[in-house]
Amino acid sequence: MRMDPADVADVTGSVYTYLVNGYGPKDNWTALFRPGERVRLRFINASSMTTFNVRIPGLPMTIVAADGLNVRPVEIDEFQFGPAETYDAIVTPPDLRAYTLVGESIDRSGMARATLAPREGMAAEVPPLRKRPLATMKDMGMGGMDHGTMDHGGMNHGAMGGAAGSMSGMDHAAMGHGAGTGAMPGMDHSQMNHGAAGTAAGGMAGMDHGQAQGGAMAGMDHGSGTMPAMNGDQMGGMDMGGMSHSMRDFSNAPEVKKGPGVQTISPMPVDRTGDPGQGLENVGHRVLTYRDLMALDRNPDTRAPEREIKLHLTGNMERYMWGFDGEKLSENPDPITLLHGERVRVTLINDTMMGHPIHIHGHFFDLVTGKGAYAPRKHTVLVQPGGTVSWDVTGEEGDWAFHCHMLYHMHAGMMRVVQVRKAGEAAA
């Protein structure tokens, strides 16, 4: 199994032309303003398959609504949103100049472009496409693993079972190896538990990584090449072929059906609602996160959830198979059942290396981000790769589509039906 760190979007600018209100990047669709006036912009991701990063260089935006519901104003410079999400932003252009509205695709393969200007025919500089992002260890579902101090420079892993080079200078102090930790000074694999690692004299000879716990790089085979020093959790260019053991470990996801439709299981998924979005971690300006959002008014239902439903977002990108808990809709047509008025917590675990905008019809849900009675209410949430999202919802009677809003993911099977009935009424 090889993980492609550049595979962050499955349909790119080589196929699509990105539009603003039906106009291409060269058409210069223009919205007019008078200098100093407050302008409300409603951004709607109406695409079928594209997550966009939106910014207006030189002009800050104040987000005032998410998915059509008011939030407390928060000033930002950029935001990422998936298909079906919407944001309302207030801007106040101060002078007689044009501003470029940039909607850059998440993989930097193209952009939608428009102009804000005091009169028709004006245009501002269009920034170049930024460097494409690469998937990180966190995107692989290893967010609970600290690689911040791990230096693999010049390290020859071979098969990781025999003599693996000297590996001196690496600190294994925090690594629980069972028997045999004495001869590995300097290596820091914090949070890694290799179980019964072999007695390693000097160069870790005979070390068995097969029992590594928590999916922490268990059985990793880096071939005979060298692995560059890792900056944070960056994994660009790494051959992850030998990670199949930990990435296919179903022990932490017993509800997922094993099969060809499940390429990976996230070993250590983490809540990523505080992240700016894939590829926006180090852009040098303010990027909106879900934790920045707070409802303007108190939510209509602030009860604690009565039960929890966990769903894994699963897929095999190479075979282009997508589903929930390892099954597509046609394989598991049984609905997810709620009672009318029941308060339920839904936790989504993204076991894939791609973000999925998950949408439910007929409902708004309250994102669990620590805002209590003022949790932001949305109908679509972009679940980052290797990440988790929880939200509380109150059942509304009816049969409702529940699906990934990436069109081809939905059609491939990442869809279920949520069936809500009153107590005592039989399901149809």
Number of structural domains found in the chain: 2
- Whether 404 is covered by a domain: the verdict is yes
pLDDT score, position 425: 80
Q: Report helix, strand or coil for 422.
A: coil
- Neighbouring C-beta atoms of residue 153, cutoff 10 Å: 11
**Residue that the structure tokens 């029941």 belong to:** 342
pLDDT score, position 246: 62
pLDDT score, position 154: 37
* Strand pairing category for 343-350 and 387-394: antiparallel
Last residue of some domain: 249, 277, 303? 249
Query: What tokens does 106 get?
Result: 């998440």
- Whether 266 is covered by a domain: the verdict is no
- Whether 415 is covered by a domain: the verdict is yes
pLDDT score, position 213: 39
* Strand pairing category for 307-316 and 343-350: parallel
Same domain, 297 and 409: yes
| pLDDT tens across the length of the chain (428 residues) | 455 788 899 999 999 999 999 999 999 999 999 999 999 999 999 999 999 999 999 999 999 999 999 999 999 999 999 999 999 999 999 999 999 999 999 999 999 999 999 999 999 999 999 999 999 999 999 986 644 433 334 334 433 333 333 333 344 433 434 333 333 333 444 434 443 333 333 333 333 443 333 333 333 333 333 333 344 444 444 444 445 456 667 787 888 999 999 999 999 999 999 999 999 999 999 999 999 999 999 999 999 999 999 999 999 988 999 999 999 999 999 999 999 999 999 999 999 999 999 999 999 999 999 999 999 999 999 999 999 999 999 999 999 999 999 999 999 999 999 999 999 886 55
pLDDT score, position 251: 80
Same domain, 297 and 390: yes
- Whether 283 is covered by a domain: the verdict is no
- Whether 25 is covered by a domain: the verdict is no
- Whether 325 is covered by a domain: the verdict is yes
Same domain, 306 and 399: yes
pLDDT score, position 6: 81
In this structure, what CATH number is given to the domain that contains residue 368?
2.60.40.420
- Whether 134 is covered by a domain: the verdict is no
Show the domain range for 397.
290-421
Same domain, 328 and 231: no
How many distinct helices (H) and strands (E) make up the chain? 2, 23
- Whether 269 is covered by a domain: the verdict is no
One-letter amino acid of 13: G
Same domain, 221 and 298: no
Last residue of some domain: 195, 229, 249? 249
